[in-house]
Copies of this chain bind each other. A is one copy, B any other.
Amino acid sequence: MELPSKYLMEAVEQFNTLPGIGKKTALRLAVHMLGREKEEVEAFSRAFSKLKENVTFCKECGNISDREICDICSSSRRNRSVICVVEDLRDVLAIENTQQYDGLYHVLGGHISPMDGIGPGDLNIDNLLTRAQNGETEEIVLALSTTMEGDSTNFYLYKKLQPFSVNVSTIARGVAIGDELEYTDEVTLGRSIVNRMPYESSISRKE
């Protein structure tokens, strides 16, 4: 694809670096940008420079924050004895959305993935081990993705947390609420049979 302008080419290439945006979409977005007012384009550009300059990470949990300690970590209304370990900000938002959890979080910044060259040292793990020994923490809930990499990361963290006097749990995996059995994949269905639980506990959790 030969573009009639090197500036347009540059803009297309930049959009193309974003995850999930291919050449064709990148071109559509760049042409769209060109049709915008100068001030709008400047506001667009500025947002990303400002993001990179100003956003910091909470010293406690590693989540994105504008302050040194994030709102959740500094809140007096959260249960400080439970820490839920997640991969990134989006997982925090998803769990917060359920309104079923009032503990703290710990954001790893990804999962262990040798294929992508991400080892334990690249993740926010040392800080988690420090927090596990702070005397306040009683339970650590591992809530990584249900993928191969997520599972290995769970296992790595579980091993690392063994020496400390904290309970390590993991979020329940099973048939999603509202799902029909026949359409559930066999691995999920298999696990949910193996990990069956007393019926009474399923009722009390619903209420």
Contact = CB atoms under 8 A, between A and B. Distances in A.
Contact of A8 (B31, B34, B55, B96): B55
Contacts of A19: 28-29, 32
Nearest to A37: B52
B14 A43 contact: yes
Interface in A28-74: 28-34, 36, 38, 40-52, 54-55, 63-66, 70-72
A52 B48 CA distance: 17
A10 B47 contact: yes
B50 A5 contact: no
A10 B51 contact: yes
Interface stretch (A85-93, A189-197, A199-207): A85-93
A25 interface: yes
Contacts of A43: 14
B48 A11 contact: yes
Contacts of A72: 4
6 contacts: A7-B66, A8-B64, A11-B47, A14-B43, A31-B64, A34-B55
Given A18-B29, A34-B64, 12 more contacts: A4-B64, A6-B66, A7-B55, A10-B47, A14-B44, A17-B40, A19-B29, A30-B51, A31-B64, A33-B52, A34-B52, A45-B49
